[in-house]
Amino acid sequence: MSFTIAIDGPAAAGKGTISKAVAAHFEFAHLDTGLLYRAVGAKTLDGTDPIEAARKLVAEDLDADNLRTPDVAQAASRVAVIADVRAALVDFQRAFARRVGGAVLDGRDIGTVICPNAEAKLFVTASAEVRAKRRFLELDGKGLDVSQEQVLADVKERDARDMGRAEAPLKPAEDAVIVDTSDLTIEAAVASAIKAITQLRENA
The stretch 116-144 carries a mean pLDDT of 94
Report phi then psi at 198, rounded to 5: -60, -40
Residues of each annotated binding site for ATP:
9-17
Residue 193: give the domain boundaries: 4-203
Burial of 175 (0-12, 13-18, 19+ CB in 10 A): exposed
| The pLDDT of residue 204 is above 80 | no
Amino acid 46: pLDDT: 92
Amino acid 144: pLDDT: 84
Amino acid 196: pLDDT: 96
Amino acid 45: pLDDT: 96
Amino acid 131: pLDDT: 97
Amino acid 168: pLDDT: 86
Three-class SS state of 80: coil
Number of domains in the chain: 1
Residues of each annotated binding site:
9-17
- CATH code of the domain containing 158: 3.40.50.300
Find out whether 109 and 165 touch, Cβ atoms under 8 Å: no
The stretch 70-85 carries a mean pLDDT of 92
pTM metric for this prediction: 0.86
